[in-house]
């Protein structure tokens, strides 16, 4: 129980409306706050003040938060705790990894009430918010808007980058402890596989799985990747790759389907394309290093998620494993929501050309592209792979459309390298760049 001092010096039990959070945030409007205060609010609660006000109004009418609606009283005629303070507490808990006892000290609302509200909040985030902001493309028109940067970078048909990450689970149940101890972390954790576009928007994610499972196992539970592999969706998307015929002339070949950029820890599917691990061909070295540079977008997304929502970095303390998965999905939904708010979800219009005569000394990826042997390169395989063996059994005329999911991974990857090499020689490869826009407070 928190106390406040009356004007006459006596003490009384504090109420939520006496707390500093209520005075400084809940009863204020945007016009009452300076730009500096708005920036501090964004840093403290990870959300712009104006958007938070709209967020609270939506939650106030949602059925999950009926207990805390404004003006609602319990059976003892006691007014419910303000939903404004409870929502701030939930955002602070996700963003700063504080304790519910800290929230009680800041809001004059019991830690048990904050805990109950947080359970409803992550349930809301993992269902309503997740369904609204994490939209997995299911048609060619939907996926096309996410592929513009990949197309410019020389990867037609690239639907995004895929990778897995681990989130620490604190106080994991003893019976689940062994399977949640993986080789990457010394603590119990859950593994999540996500796919993002180059603008860092999350397109799809799995639920949590034991961290002992590797990427090859987790991807089998990724509905988006498995759908690409099984032909459940996006087979109607059409793209073209350039290749040379037997006379050395360049031709266009039609392909159907979508593929994603991955590392070498995934299954050898034609819809999951990794860089070369063993090669001594300059074109393959150049292509592999460019692919590694492009797929850093998923690594950047992990960094943004874990720095913005500290609970994902320090560890989720949940009563049930399902609650940890709800926290992950809530953070993914809020991440996409903030991308839209800040305008960073819009298509990137800037580009850095690969032509060395233009001057690209400030772009590491372009320097790496033009001078691939100056950087760490894939190891040389003890034996060369015969390209004729890889491409045997496929129509080489270029007149029949090829279905990506039906191809051999080595065959399709050779075609991607050849297409990229042709564009590189024509100086048509560019590094996608975001046009700078004013950042919202």
DSSP string, 353-393: E--TTT--TT-HHHHHHH-GGGS--PBPPSSPPPHHHHHTT
| 331, part of any domain | yes
| 438, part of any domain | no
- Integer Cα distance of 4 and 284 in angstroms: 70
| 255, part of any domain | yes
| 6, part of any domain | no
| 112, part of any domain | yes
Closest by CA position to 358, among listed 422, 280, 431? 431
User: Is 159 found in the same domain as 72?
Assistant: no
Which phi and psi (to 5°) does residue 440 adopt?
-75, 150
| 325, part of any domain | yes
- Assigned token pair, 440: 């919202």
Q: Which of 112, 133, 154 is the last residue of a domain?
A: 133
| 200, part of any domain | yes
Question: Residue 22 carries which DSSP code?
Answer: I
User: Is 205 found in the same domain as 107?
Assistant: no
User: Is 250 found in the same domain as 396?
Assistant: yes
Q: Count of domains in the chain?
A: 2
User: Is 64 found in the same domain as 40?
Assistant: yes
Q: Which of 80, 105, 133 is the last residue of a domain?
A: 133
Closest by CA position to 167, among listed 324, 304, 295? 324
- Integer Cα distance of 334 and 328 in angstroms: 10
Burial profile 128-140: b = 16 or more Cβ within 10 angstroms, e = fewer: ebbeebbeebeeb
Closest by CA position to 119, among listed 94, 144, 147? 94
User: Is 193 found in the same domain as 66?
Assistant: no
- Integer Cα distance of 245 and 247 in angstroms: 5
User: Is 370 found in the same domain as 263?
Assistant: yes
Q: Can you give the residue range of the structural domain that contains 75?
A: 13-133
User: Is 400 found in the same domain as 270?
Assistant: yes
pLDDT value at residue 122: 96
Where is 242: in which H helix or E strand? Answer: strand 238-244
| 440, part of any domain | no
User: Is 88 found in the same domain as 173?
Assistant: no
- Assigned token pair, 338: 């903030």
User: Is 117 found in the same domain as 84?
Assistant: yes
User: Is 350 found in the same domain as 261?
Assistant: yes
Where is 162: in which H helix or E strand? Answer: strand 158-170
- Integer Cα distance of 17 and 27 in angstroms: 9
User: Is 385 found in the same domain as 270?
Assistant: yes
Q: Which of 133, 157, 178 is the last residue of a domain?
A: 133
User: Is 311 found in the same domain as 190?
Assistant: yes
For the chain, which ranges sit under pLDDT 50?
383, 392, 436-441
């Amino acid at each position: 129980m928190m106390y406040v001092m009356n004007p006459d010096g006596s003490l009384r039990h504090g109420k939520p409306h006496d707390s500093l959070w209520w005075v400084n945030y809940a009863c204020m409007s945007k016009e009452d706050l300076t730009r500096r205060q708005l920036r501090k609010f964004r840093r403290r609660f990870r959300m712009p003040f104006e958007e938070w006000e709209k967020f609270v109004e939506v939650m106030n009418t949602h059925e999950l938060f009926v207990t805390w609606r404004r003006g609602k009283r319990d059976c003892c005629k006691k007014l419910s705790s303000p939903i404004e303070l409870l929502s701030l507490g939930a955002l602070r808990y996700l963003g700063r990894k504080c304790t519910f006892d800290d929230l009680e000290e800041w809001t004059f609302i019991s830690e048990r009430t904050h805990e109950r509200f947080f359970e409803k909040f992550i349930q809301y985030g993992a269902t309503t918010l997740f369904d609204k902001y994490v939209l997995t493309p299911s048609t060619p028109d939907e996926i096309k808007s996410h592929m513009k940067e990949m197309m410019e970078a020389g990867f037609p048909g690239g639907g995004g980058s895929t990778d897995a990450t681990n989130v620490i689970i604190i106080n994991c149940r003893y019976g689940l402890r062994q399977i949640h101890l993986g080789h990457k972390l010394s603590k119990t954790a859950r593994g999540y596989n996500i796919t993002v576009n180059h603008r860092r928007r999350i397109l799809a994610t799995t639920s949590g799985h034991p961290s002992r499972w590797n990427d090859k196992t987790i991807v089998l539970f990724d509905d988006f990747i498995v759908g690409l592999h099984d032909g459940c969706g996006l087979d109607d998307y059409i793209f073209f790759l350039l290749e040379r015929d037997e006379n050395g002339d360049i031709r266009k070949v039609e392909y159907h389907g979508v593929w994603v950029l991955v590392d070498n820890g995934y299954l050898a599917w034609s819809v999951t394309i990794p860089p070369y691990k063993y090669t001594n061909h300059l074109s393959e070295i150049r292509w592999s290093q460019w692919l590694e540079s492009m797929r850093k977008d998923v690594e950047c997304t992990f960094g943004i998620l874990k720095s913005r929502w500290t609970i994902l970095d320090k560890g989720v303390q949940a009563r049930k494993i399902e609650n940890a998965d709800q926290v992950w999905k809530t953070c993914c939904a809020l991440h996409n929501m903030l991308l839209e708010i800040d305008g960073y979800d819009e298509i990137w219009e800037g580009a850095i050309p690969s032509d060395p005569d233009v001057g690209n000394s400030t772009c590491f990826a372009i320097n790496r592209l033009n001078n691939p042997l100056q950087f760490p390169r894939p190891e040389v395989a003890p034996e060369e792979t015969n390209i004729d063996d890889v491409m045997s059994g496929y129509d080489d005329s270029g007149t029949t459309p090829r279905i990506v999911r039906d191809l051999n991974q080595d065959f399709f990857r050779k075609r991607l390298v050849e297409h990229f090499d042709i564009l590189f020689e024509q100086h048509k490869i560019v590094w996608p760049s975001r046009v700078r826009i004013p950042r919202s407070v």
